[in-house]
């Protein structure tokens, strides 16, 4: 597991919302349930590296960019 804290999950949620992608649509793009995505965004579940890559591909940013965003929080 890569990320597990509330701040990281909240940052992922913020990026998703900025890209105007609904949680249900993002979950489908990541091939996970909306429930799992909700748990990731609230810090109740970790996001694995493959899921992080799927997240980045879905919103059109690089993994490096998302890691830079997460390091700032």
pLDDT at 68: 87
Closest CA relative to residue 13, chosen from 66, 62, 65: 66
Using the predicted structure, report yes or no on whether residue 2 has a pLDDT greater than 60. no
Q: Taking the model in full, what pTM does it have? A: 0.86
Alpha carbons 70 and 43: distance in angstroms, whole number:
13
Note whether 11 and 73 are within 8 A (CB): yes
Alpha carbons 61 and 38: distance in angstroms, whole number:
20
Using the predicted structure, report yes or no on whether residue 1 has a pLDDT greater than 60. no
Q: Span 13-41, mean pLDDT?
A: 96
């Amino acid at each position: 597991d890569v990320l597990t804290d509330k701040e990281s999950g909240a940052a992922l949620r913020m990026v998703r919302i900025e890209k105007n992608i609904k949680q249900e649509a993002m979950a489908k793009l990541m091939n996970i349930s909306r429930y799992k995505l909700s748990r990731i965004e609230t810090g109740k579940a970790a996001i694995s590296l493959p899921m992080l890559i799927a997240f980045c591909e879905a919103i059109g940013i690089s993994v490096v960019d998302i890691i830079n965003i997460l390091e700032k929080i």
